[in-house]
Amino acid sequence: QAYRYRLEMQGEVEQVFIHDSIYSYIVDLVDATRTSPYIELGVSPRGTIACVRMAKAYAYLSGRSYVIDLEGG
């Protein structure tokens, strides 16, 4: 029962909408970790995917079907 509920919730999280501008922001953020002289090892491709999933999950848990820009910019 709990496993089925978790799978259902994961499916709902996958349906959360992310605007292209948010995807661009995530790509810029990841790129900054890869080019910064202060960071030895930047975010990996899997880390980038995890960032997108985290944003979707946060939106879902906040009761939204879309990701918002928390910086307001």
Residue 63 corresponds to which tokens in the numbers above?
Answer: 């009761």
Q: Could you read off the pLDDT of 28-38 as tens digits, one per residue? A: 999 999 999 99
Residue 1 has pLDDT above 90, yes or no: no
Q: What is the pLDDT of residue 71?
A: 61
Q: What is the pLDDT of residue 52?
A: 96
Residue 14 corresponds to which tokens in the numbers above?
Answer: 């996958």
Q: Could you read off the pLDDT of 14-72 as tens digits, one per residue? A: 999 999 999 999 999 999 999 999 999 999 999 999 999 999 999 999 999 999 987 65
